[in-house]
Copies of this chain bind each other. A is one copy, B any other.
Amino acid sequence: MVGGGEGAFIGAVHRMAAALDGDYELVCGAFSSDAGRNERSAAALGLAPARAYSTLDVLLAAEAALPESQRMQVLAIVTPNHLHAPAAIAALDAGFHVMSEKPMALDLAEALAIEAAVIRSGKLYGLAFTYSGYPLIEEARVRVARGDLGPIRLVQVEYSQGWLSLPVDRDGQKQAEWRTDPARAGLGGCLGDIGTHAFQLAEHVSGLAVEQLSADLTTHVPGRRLDDDVAALLRFAGGARGVLRASQIAAGDENGLRLRVHGEKGGLDWSQMEPNTLTLRWLDRPAEIVRAGGPGLDALTTARLRTPAGHPEGYIEAFANLYRSFGRAVRVGAAIPPARGAADWFPNIVDGLRTMTFVETMIANSVGDTKWSSLAETLDQRRASLAK
């Protein structure tokens, strides 16, 4: 693990998610650039001091030198965003699989560099789009894919938080501080931090690609250097329409990620804060409450559940589903990640490139007068300029 020392939020969650099913053992780490913090973190986690490395480079070199039976197999990257890409590339090139926090990178150019490293290394690369690990998100995806709702017409996704409503980033709140610093967070603020989750979930469940978007990015808190509120109109391949909203200044909102998809025959509705319920509404019959563990679930959903109906599972279990799937791919020596819809799919380079393309398209559209911008054009341009 790189990052995730004392006081960090997401590192601890990665550790719990990996531990839950007994599939992973934490064997080494470079938890902090501060030596004392690094050592204390390792000690608290019960690691041998020798395997608490001062930097990622040292870690990679030392672990690569160990016999295969003792060596780290997967590097979990839980640093601030600006280190995601260099860490991923270094680890892949050193022969390790990588499970990375999102967003993939600071920008699309970095993301394409990771893609290149994945290709040349032949190693697995997973991205913690955690929300796609929820069992009922899988059920939602299956329902759309098998046509239960009819042809899809509407995709609405929102991700509403309020914790950046005040200028806490200027007041020393560590989580807020780096997230609003372009050098460490990347091109997008709210856009990169949670807008990418919303976008990934919308495409993942609907099975449809956003072709064009029209965006409005706003910074509501004076002095903040990145957007803290995002809205976009979406046009999907095949004619579906959508709206994406993400905000970190919706005061009073917690972690309100909600996805709705409507087809000709009905609609589905899922909210992350009550993740064990999927509501299906129908044109011609009463709405149904599909429940985690209850009747009517697809086998792909059931495989992602650990407890019977009415015993709620949450965020850590969703996260653990990604780690479990990733671990299975590692164990079977998969050369490429399982396809979307496979039992052990996990978010990967495909989701990463889509979300980074989304970020750059949003930003470009927001500052201009053009109404609609194309994601494919954004990606083509970046690939072309890198090819030069």
Contact = CB atoms under 8 A, between A and B. Distances in A.
Q: Chain A, interface size: which category? A: 35 or more
Interface stretch (A71-79, A121-129, A272-280, A348-356): A272-280
A46 B20 contact: no
Nearest to A283: B251
Interface stretch (A98-106, A150-158, A177-185): A150-158
Contacts of A282: 251-252, 295
Interface stretch (A28-36, A108-116, A310-318, A327-335): A310-318
Interface stretch (A83-91, A161-169, A201-209): A161-169
Contact of A249 (B9, B22, B153): B153
19 contacts: A9-B308, A13-B307, A16-B21, A153-B229, A154-B250, A166-B264, A229-B241, A231-B243, A249-B262, A249-B264, A251-B263, A251-B282, A252-B283, A253-B267, A273-B310, A280-B286, A286-B288, A288-B289, A313-B316
A143 to B, nearest CB: 12
Contacts of A235: 216
**Copies of the polypeptide in the assembly:** 4
Interface string A209-245: 0000010101010000000010111010001010101
A363 interface: no
A265 interface: yes
**Residue in A153, A247, A266, A272 with the greatest tally of chain B CB atoms within 10 Å:** A153
Interface of A: 9, 12-13, 15-16, 19-22, 26, 45-46, 149-150, 153-154, 156, 161-162, 165-166, 214, 216, 218, 220, 229, 231-233, 235, 239, 241, 243, 245, 247, 249-256, 262-267, 272-276, 279-291, 293-296, 306-317, 368-371
B309 A255 contact: yes
Contacts of A262: 162, 247, 249-253
Contacts of A254: 291, 293-294, 308-310
